[in-house]
Amino acid sequence: MIVDYHSHYMLRSHFGPEIARQWDARGGTGAWPDHPPEEFDRAMEPVDRAIVFGITAHALGIHTPSGFIADFVRRRPEKYIGFMALDPSVPDAVEQMEHGVKLGLRGIKIYPVMSLYRISDPRFHPFFRKAIQFGLPVLTHMGASPMTEAPLKYSQPIDVDDLAIALPELRVIMAHLGHPWQRDCALVARKHENVWADISGVWHRPWQGYEALIVCQEWGVMHKLLFGSDFPLWTPAGAIEALYKLNDQVEGTPLPRISRDALDELIHRDALAPLGLA
């Protein structure tokens, strides 16, 4: 089974014009495209299941409605699992979570760096306790952001350590292996049973991606990694091809190799049950 843990279905209009402009200028992959459902379906043909979400960060005017995601995944419930995009910093965040559960959404995507909060702030514990109560895993963006207004201090994996210590039952997925703080991300995932990381986008900077997976291999956390494409920025097929090519950079050198068996397992692992999504 192949599960894509990181795919977006959203519109450029969800960003607002200024943030869309900044993404186009500094996002590293060009403009964020609008894509019809049929294009999404074609891109996801190589995977068995896909987690689908948008982005909500009210401080920067970004919002993907839960109903938008629910309507999309309802087309193919056997393939797609919808996550609600929430912002814990708004007063009615818990009510929005309850609404998303009623719509059939099964997890939460948050974006602290663009919502201007620190994930470890105790004032958000009631929000995360409610997620535990509903059995909702929380996928949080971790790492770089191209947005001028987004403080990178709110995007470092080490903050998840404090959250996991306070709320050990909360299932947390750190997106993008926390790039460029992959070592911190690996160590946080290593010490907490209910913390994972997805590897979406790590191949986009091949040397950093190679080094990150070697770190995870040496620290024994490859089993805590989840495959993700970050569609529409990349496709699952392109992501898989690029992951297998990471070792090409060190061919003919004494540098270590990322285990082919570990890559096979990362890509093909049935990763739904540990996150309560089976």
As a whole number of angstroms, the distance between CA 218 and CA 221 comes to: 8
As a whole number of angstroms, the distance between CA 179 and CA 186 comes to: 11
Hey, where are the domains in the chain?
3-275
User: Percent of the chain having pLDDT more than 90?
Assistant: 82
Query: Does residue 203 register a pLDDT over 90?
Result: yes
Query: Does residue 19 register a pLDDT over 90?
Result: no
As a whole number of angstroms, the distance between CA 90 and CA 98 comes to: 14
pLDDT tens digits along 89-114: 999 999 999 999 999 999 999 999 98
145 pLDDT band (50/70/90 cuts)?
confident
147 pLDDT band (50/70/90 cuts)?
confident
What's the whole-model pTM score?
0.93
Tokens standing for 238?
A: 């392109």
| DSSP state at residue 200 | T
User: Percent of the chain having pLDDT more than 70?
Assistant: 92
Sheet holding 195-198, edge to edge: 3-8, 49-53, 80-85, 107-110, 138-140, 172-174, 195-198, 225-226
Terminal-residue alpha carbon distance, the chain: 12
Helices 182-191 & 206-218 angle (0-180, nearest 10):
30
Query: Does residue 50 register a pLDDT over 80?
Result: yes
pLDDT of residue 62: 86
Query: Does residue 73 register a pLDDT over 60?
Result: yes
CA angle at 276 for the pair 242 and 178, rounded to the nearest 5°: 40
Domain at 3-275: CATH architecture: Alpha-Beta Barrel (3.20)
